[in-house]
């Protein structure tokens, strides 16, 4: 059995680590986050070269490196001042383009390029507008110096159909060759040419996103897909008794809207024996960790399944854990932040796959910690 392995590293290149919670060196300091996703999760030498490049940039903290073997994907989290984060994103991407060959790439996660997506996210004293500017500068530099086709998404999108990353990624790497030559899908930057080795890259700006996966006691991915369709914002396609899509008056497929707003979800495989509901919580203040977990438990129970564990990909704001902890504890008002976080970890089943270290997975606590390599 090939199970997904996760390598976690936490680094900092500053003598005085950034501290969001306490205000650290300057209450007016502008901080942004960048979470580049690289289509390589198996070769540690390649990822080490990418992370070493980031570590060489002054003014950034490398908080998390999450390698997924089955996904064949690595998600890296960096935080710092805007200019330093931009430099780190550009230089690490150049390393990735030189080392990753998409012609040989396979994995569970959907993907379309060696550097698949590079989102910029506002933190302290930063705005979506600032992060959009960073995304556009990243796109201009990478398309110019590397010849990579770049799409802008999220808040940085220039057209409505490009706001959604899954919409841009639809068809994946294998479908880009035909998609990129269509007028509707010409890149925002770079050539309208399919590059087999590198594919295409999306960059943009968005608010804090939580990547959260819930595992089920089944090897049937279709059941995870069924639950995903029920809970996600986009819902599921409505079909007639013959299994054909029902179209509206404009000829577009009709959909049954899902339970939660601001939620993307799809069925994936954690390993060959475990299906999972893989999610992006686009706004945890609207749709939180507690709500989606308990809804998945309820839907799983209806079809004779159980939630057996969960996992986070990347770092999460403290408030997201506090929100969940308050709902798992009846006397939450009398509890400390640590106690509420512990309640959330247990309720969400984050400590089943392995020991869960909140000081490594919560942004504020990770930055206070100062950084170390594990």
Is 177 in a helix, a strand, or coil? helix
Q: What is the dihedral of CA 22, 26, 29, 35, to 10 degrees?
A: -40
DSSP-H helix ranges across the chain: 44-55, 82-99, 128-146, 165-169, 172-179, 221-231, 289-302, 318-328, 337-348, 358-361, 363-369
User: Distances in Å between the alpha carbon of 168 and those of 154, 176, 180?
Assistant: 11, 10, 10
**Residue 112 in tokens:** 């379309």
Phi/psi of residue 189, nearest 5 degrees = -140, 150
**Residue 257 in tokens:** 């809207």
**Residue 123 in tokens:** 């933190």
Burial label, 368 (beta-carbon count in 10 A; 0-12, 13-18, 19+): middle
Catalytic residues: 109
**Residue 105 in tokens:** 């790439």
Q: How far apart are CA 164 and CA 175, in angstroms?
A: 17
Do residues 64 and 91 make contact, with C-beta atoms less than 8 angstroms apart?
A: no
Distance from the Cα of residue 306 to its chain's centroid: 25
């Amino acid at each position: 059995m090939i199970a997904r392995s996760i390598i976690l590293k936490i680094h900092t290149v500053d003598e005085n680590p950034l501290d969001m919670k306490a205000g650290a060196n300057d209450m007016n300091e502008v901080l942004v986050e960048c979470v580049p996703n690289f289509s390589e999760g198996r070769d540690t030498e390649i990822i080490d070269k990418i992370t070493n490049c980031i570590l060489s940039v002054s003014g950034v903290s490398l908080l998390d490196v999450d390698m997924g073997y089955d996904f064949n994907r690595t998600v890296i989290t960096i935080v710092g001042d805007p200019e330093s984060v931009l430099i780190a994103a550009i230089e690490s991407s150049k390393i990735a383009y030189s080392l990753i060959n998409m012609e040989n790439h396979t994995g569970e996660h959907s993907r379309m390029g060696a550097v698949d997506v590079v989102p910029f996210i506002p933190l302290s004293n930063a705005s979506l507008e600032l992060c959009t500017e960073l995304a556009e500068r990243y796109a201009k530099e990478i398309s110019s110096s590397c010849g990579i086709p770049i799409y802008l998404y999220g808040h940085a999108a220039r057209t409505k159909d490009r706001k959604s990353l899954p919409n841009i990624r639809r068809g994946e790497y294998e479908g880009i060759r035909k998609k990129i030559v269509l007028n509707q899908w010409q890149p925002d930057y770079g050539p309208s040419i399919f590059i087999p080795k590198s594919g295409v890259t999306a960059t943009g700006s968005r608010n804090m996103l939580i990547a959260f996966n819930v595992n089920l006691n089944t090897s049937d991915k279709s059941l995870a897909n069924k639950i995903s369709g029920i809970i996600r914002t986009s819902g599921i396609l409505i079909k007639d008794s013959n299994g054909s899509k029902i179209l509206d008056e404009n000829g577009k497929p009709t959909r049954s809207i899902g339970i939660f707003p601001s939620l993307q979800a799809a069925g994936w495989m954690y390993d060959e024996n475990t299906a999972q509901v893989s999610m992006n919580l686009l706004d945890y203040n609207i749709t939180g960790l507690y709500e989606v977990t308990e809804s998945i438990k309820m839907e799983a129970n209806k079809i004779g399944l159980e939630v057996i564990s969960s996992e986070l990909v990347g770092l999460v704001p403290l408030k997201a854990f506090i929100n969940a902890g308050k709902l798992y504890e009846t006397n939450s008002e009398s509890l400390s932040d640590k106690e509420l976080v512990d309640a959330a970890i247990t309720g969400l089943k984050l400590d089943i796959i392995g020991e869960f270290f909140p000081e490594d997975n919560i942004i504020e606590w990770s930055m206070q910690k100062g950084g170390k390599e594990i």
